[in-house]
Amino acid sequence: MMDNILHIVPYTAQHGQFILSQQMNHKVLEADRHYINVDGDARNLEQDHLAFTGIVNHEPIFAAGMKMIWGQVAEGWVIATSEMWKHPLSVAKAIKKDFARVAKENNITRVQSAIRKDFKEGLRFAEWLGLEKEGLMRKWGFDGSDQYMYARLF
Protein backbone atom coordinates (compact mmCIF):
# COMPACT_ATOMS: atom_id res chain seq x y z
CA MET A 1 0.00 0.00 0.00
CA MET A 2 1.26 3.47 -0.84
CA ASP A 3 1.19 6.09 1.89
CA ASN A 4 1.92 9.24 -0.20
CA ILE A 5 3.83 10.67 2.79
CA LEU A 6 7.04 12.58 2.24
CA HIS A 7 9.93 11.01 4.17
CA ILE A 8 13.26 12.86 4.52
CA VAL A 9 16.36 10.66 4.57
CA PRO A 10 20.10 11.24 4.08
CA TYR A 11 21.05 11.63 0.42
CA THR A 12 22.81 8.81 -1.41
CA ALA A 13 24.26 8.69 -4.90
CA GLN A 14 21.60 6.11 -5.82
CA HIS A 15 18.89 8.66 -5.01
CA GLY A 16 20.55 11.19 -7.29
CA GLN A 17 21.01 8.70 -10.10
CA PHE A 18 17.33 7.75 -9.92
CA ILE A 19 16.19 11.39 -9.92
CA LEU A 20 18.43 12.27 -12.86
CA SER A 21 17.10 9.27 -14.81
CA GLN A 22 13.53 10.64 -14.56
CA GLN A 23 11.89 13.60 -16.23
CA MET A 24 13.10 16.74 -14.47
CA ASN A 25 10.61 18.93 -12.60
CA HIS A 26 10.55 21.70 -15.22
CA LYS A 27 10.96 21.73 -19.00
CA VAL A 28 13.62 24.45 -18.76
CA LEU A 29 15.82 22.03 -16.80
CA GLU A 30 15.68 19.20 -19.34
CA ALA A 31 18.71 20.64 -21.17
CA ASP A 32 20.67 20.68 -17.90
CA ARG A 33 19.74 17.07 -17.16
CA HIS A 34 21.71 15.90 -20.18
CA TYR A 35 24.83 17.74 -19.03
CA ILE A 36 24.46 16.57 -15.43
CA ASN A 37 24.11 12.96 -16.56
CA VAL A 38 27.03 13.17 -18.99
CA ASP A 39 29.47 15.57 -17.33
CA GLY A 40 28.28 15.39 -13.75
CA ASP A 41 27.86 12.55 -11.37
CA ALA A 42 25.29 12.10 -8.64
CA ARG A 43 28.08 10.69 -6.44
CA ASN A 44 29.85 14.04 -6.31
CA LEU A 45 26.85 15.51 -4.47
CA GLU A 46 27.18 13.03 -1.62
CA GLN A 47 28.92 14.66 1.35
CA ASP A 48 28.34 13.66 4.96
CA HIS A 49 25.42 15.49 6.57
CA LEU A 50 25.14 18.07 3.78
CA ALA A 51 22.34 16.60 1.66
CA PHE A 52 18.96 14.94 2.05
CA THR A 53 16.37 13.22 -0.12
CA GLY A 54 12.60 13.38 -0.13
CA ILE A 55 11.02 9.99 -0.74
CA VAL A 56 7.36 9.24 -1.42
CA ASN A 57 6.11 5.67 -1.86
CA HIS A 58 9.69 4.33 -1.78
CA GLU A 59 10.85 6.57 -4.67
CA PRO A 60 13.06 9.65 -4.43
CA ILE A 61 11.21 12.70 -5.78
CA PHE A 62 13.80 15.34 -4.87
CA ALA A 63 17.18 15.77 -3.29
CA ALA A 64 18.78 18.94 -2.00
CA GLY A 65 21.88 19.94 -0.19
CA MET A 66 25.15 21.76 -0.22
CA LYS A 67 28.57 20.98 -1.57
CA MET A 68 31.54 22.63 0.13
CA ILE A 69 33.58 24.81 -2.21
CA TRP A 70 36.22 26.24 0.14
CA GLY A 71 36.39 27.33 3.76
CA GLN A 72 32.85 27.80 5.00
CA VAL A 73 31.38 28.51 1.54
CA ALA A 74 29.01 26.00 -0.04
CA GLU A 75 27.13 25.61 -3.30
CA GLY A 76 23.42 24.90 -2.79
CA TRP A 77 21.68 22.48 -5.14
CA VAL A 78 18.30 20.88 -5.73
CA ILE A 79 17.34 18.14 -8.18
CA ALA A 80 13.80 16.88 -8.52
CA THR A 81 11.54 14.77 -10.65
CA SER A 82 8.20 15.92 -12.02
CA GLU A 83 6.60 13.88 -9.20
CA MET A 84 7.54 16.64 -6.76
CA TRP A 85 4.68 18.71 -8.19
CA LYS A 86 2.24 16.29 -6.52
CA HIS A 87 3.64 17.47 -3.14
CA PRO A 88 4.82 21.05 -3.77
CA LEU A 89 4.18 22.48 -0.30
CA SER A 90 5.67 19.52 1.56
CA VAL A 91 8.76 19.58 -0.66
CA ALA A 92 9.23 23.35 -0.36
CA LYS A 93 8.83 23.30 3.43
CA ALA A 94 11.23 20.36 3.82
CA ILE A 95 13.90 22.08 1.72
CA LYS A 96 13.50 25.39 3.55
CA LYS A 97 13.68 23.73 6.97
CA ASP A 98 16.68 21.53 6.23
CA PHE A 99 18.50 24.19 4.19
CA ALA A 100 19.00 26.41 7.23
CA ARG A 101 19.64 23.44 9.53
CA VAL A 102 22.41 22.04 7.33
CA ALA A 103 24.09 25.45 7.08
CA LYS A 104 23.99 26.06 10.83
CA GLU A 105 25.06 22.56 11.86
CA ASN A 106 28.08 22.75 9.55
CA ASN A 107 29.08 26.35 10.36
CA ILE A 108 28.55 27.39 6.75
CA THR A 109 28.70 31.17 6.39
CA ARG A 110 27.71 31.48 2.72
CA VAL A 111 25.52 29.34 0.48
CA GLN A 112 25.41 30.26 -3.19
CA SER A 113 23.60 28.87 -6.17
CA ALA A 114 23.44 29.66 -9.87
CA ILE A 115 19.92 29.66 -11.32
CA ARG A 116 18.99 29.85 -14.99
CA LYS A 117 17.74 33.30 -15.95
CA ASP A 118 14.73 31.73 -17.68
CA PHE A 119 13.75 29.46 -14.76
CA LYS A 120 11.26 31.81 -13.10
CA GLU A 121 10.04 29.24 -10.54
CA GLY A 122 13.62 28.55 -9.47
CA LEU A 123 14.36 32.25 -9.07
CA ARG A 124 11.26 32.73 -6.89
CA PHE A 125 12.12 29.63 -4.86
CA ALA A 126 15.66 30.88 -4.18
CA GLU A 127 14.28 34.18 -2.93
CA TRP A 128 11.74 32.34 -0.75
CA LEU A 129 14.67 30.42 0.78
CA GLY A 130 16.25 33.75 1.71
CA LEU A 131 18.88 33.94 -1.02
CA GLU A 132 19.60 37.31 -2.60
CA LYS A 133 20.36 37.98 -6.26
CA GLU A 134 23.98 39.08 -6.65
CA GLY A 135 24.34 39.38 -10.40
CA LEU A 136 23.96 37.93 -13.86
CA MET A 137 26.59 35.51 -15.14
CA ARG A 138 26.44 35.50 -18.93
CA LYS A 139 26.89 32.19 -20.77
CA TRP A 140 27.62 30.44 -17.45
CA GLY A 141 25.27 27.45 -17.76
CA PHE A 142 26.11 24.01 -19.12
CA ASP A 143 24.41 24.97 -22.38
CA GLY A 144 25.67 28.56 -22.51
CA SER A 145 22.59 29.94 -20.77
CA ASP A 146 22.71 33.10 -18.67
CA GLN A 147 22.35 32.43 -14.94
CA TYR A 148 21.91 34.55 -11.86
CA MET A 149 24.12 34.02 -8.83
CA TYR A 150 22.10 33.94 -5.64
CA ALA A 151 23.55 33.74 -2.13
CA ARG A 152 22.55 33.67 1.51
CA LEU A 153 24.84 34.58 4.36
CA PHE A 154 24.54 32.93 7.76
Q: What is the pLDDT of residues 29-72, one digit of tens each?
A: 555 555 555 445 677 777 778 999 999 999 999 999 999 999 99
For residue 6, the SS3 value is: coil
Measured distance CA(46)–CA(89) in Å, rounded: 25
- Treating both helix axes as pointing N-terminal to C-terminal, what angle do 13-21 and 30-39 enclose, rounded to 10 degrees? 140
pTM for this predicted structure = 0.85
Q: Mark 75-112 as b/e (b = at least 16 C-beta within 10 Å).
A: ebbbbbbebbeebeebbeebbeebbeebbeebebebbb
pLDDT digits (tens, 9 = 90+) for 98-113: 888 899 999 999 999 9
Q: Give the Cβ contact number of residue 45 at 10 Å.
A: 23
